[in-house]
């Protein structure tokens, strides 16, 4: 590489960092016109197209840089980033999506194999792995944090993996807050934390965080507006009844469909009628006074006895004996006969 080409590539890199993509592409085009196999210029041209969302062109320039220099780690990283974005744009569960993910994973893995101690390689590999294997991505980013624990973006990536993978909300919050402690105006960490707040239902904190993101990075204003509009529409929407999302019982799923009816109302009416009828019958049969005690049945039938001295058709009148001088039950005794007393007459006086 000539001195001119080297200087122009260095200036193009500064312009890309400043966001002046068109000016950077102009300088890189001049370099490539003189040296088509300049790997640095090809890599930066691929990165410039990546920054503007032209991912197919980014893949083409990155592949050309790797054709000139197969182990070029920067070109591998740009290729992995572009293939990952193409996978996001492809249809879900499509063959095209899987093909782009496989290419991104292969490029990121190769870059990490070339320099396993370089945390940028590990950070990129963890980001690609998080789409299909969050556990492997978490192990990769933890290894990177062990190498450089003061790297704010590594903690941001860890928080993003934990949040998007649904692994641990508290762990995601702790990682994102650590990233903001190391770099208070970290845009990506602020955005992830705002989305985490929205996931937890803290709309005020989430909206405040997204507005900071739009303030620090105006290029994300459209994303912030769309997200806040979706949150506001969700808040205005009335919640649907819970039972509409509940599946029918297993025994009902296999029964033939029947017309809808207010069977609950009919069941309530029938039950109420039964209760009312029972109350009516119970009130009608209940005595006003307690019944007299019923005599116990006897084993013997009583013998009819005529009332005393009352003639009836069944019992003819009878003569009642006149009561005697003696008790009716005393034995009869004949009184003894005694001679009358002798009376002595006085002498007859003349």
- What is the residue-wise DSSP string for 162-192? HHHTTS-HHHHHHHHHHHHHHSTT-HHHHHH
Is this structure's pTM higher than 0.95?
no
Handedness of CA 334, 338, 339, 342 (dihedral sign): negative
- 3-state SS of 11-51 is HHHHHHHCCCHHHHHHHHHHHHHHCCCCHHHHHHHHHHHHH
Model confidence over 262-313: pLDDT tens digits? 566 677 777 777 877 777 777 666 555 555 555 554 444 444 444 454 454 4
The first and second tokens of residue 265, run together, are 């109302």
pLDDT digits (tens, 9 = 90+) for 20-55: 999 999 999 999 999 999 999 999 999 999 999 999
Residue with tokens 């000539």: 2
Q: What is the pLDDT of residues 239-269, one digit of tens each?
A: 665 555 555 545 444 444 444 555 666 777 7
Nearest-CA neighbor of 156 among 125, 132, 199, 187? 187
Is the separation of the CB atoms in 131 and 101 below 8 Å?
yes
Match 């005794």 to its residue by tokens. Answer: 333
């Amino acid at each position: 590489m000539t001195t001119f080409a080297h200087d122009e590539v260095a200036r193009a890199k500064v312009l890309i960092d400043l966001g002046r993509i068109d000016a950077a592409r102009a300088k890189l085009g001049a370099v490539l016109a003189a040296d088509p196999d300049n790997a640095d210029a090809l890599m930066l041209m691929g990165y410039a197209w990546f920054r503007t969302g032209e991912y197919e062109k980014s893949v083409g320039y990155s592949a050309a840089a790797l054709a000139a220099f197969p182990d070029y780690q920067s070109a591998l990283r740009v290729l992995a980033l572009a293939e990952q974005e193409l996978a996001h744009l492809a249809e879900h569960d499509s063959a095209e999506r899987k093909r782009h993910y496989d290419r991104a994973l292969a490029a990121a893995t190769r870059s990490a194999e070339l320099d396993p101690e370089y945390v940028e390689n590990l950070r990129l590999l963890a980001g690609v792995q998080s789409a299909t294997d969050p556990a492997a991505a978490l192990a990769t980013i933890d290894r990177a944090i062990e190498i450089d624990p003061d790297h704010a973006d590594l903690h941001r990536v860890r928080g993003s993996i934990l949040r998007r993978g649904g692994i641990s909300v508290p762990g995601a919050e702790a990682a994102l807050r650590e990233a903001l402690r190391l770099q208070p105006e970290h845009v990506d960490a602020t955005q992830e934390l705002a989305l985490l707040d929205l996931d937890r239902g803290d709309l005020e904190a989430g909206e405040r965080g997204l507005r900071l993101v739009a303030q620090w990075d105006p290029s994300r204003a459209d994303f912030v507006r769309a997200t806040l509009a979706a949150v506001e529409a969700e808040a205005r929407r009335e919640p649907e009844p819970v039972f509409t999302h509940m599946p029918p019982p297993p025994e009902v799923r296999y029964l033939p469909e029947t017309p809808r009816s207010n069977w609950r109302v009919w069941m309530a009416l029938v039950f109420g009628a039964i209760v009312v009828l029972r109350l009516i019958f119970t009130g009608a049969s209940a005595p006003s006074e307690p019944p007299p005690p019923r005599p116990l049945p006897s084993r013997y039938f009583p013998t009819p006895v005529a009332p005393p001295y009352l003639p009836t058709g069944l019992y003819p009148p009878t003569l009642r004996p006149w009561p005697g001088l003696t008790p009716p039950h005393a034995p009869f005794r004949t009184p003894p006969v005694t001679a009358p007393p002798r009376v002595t007459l006085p002498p007859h006086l003349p």
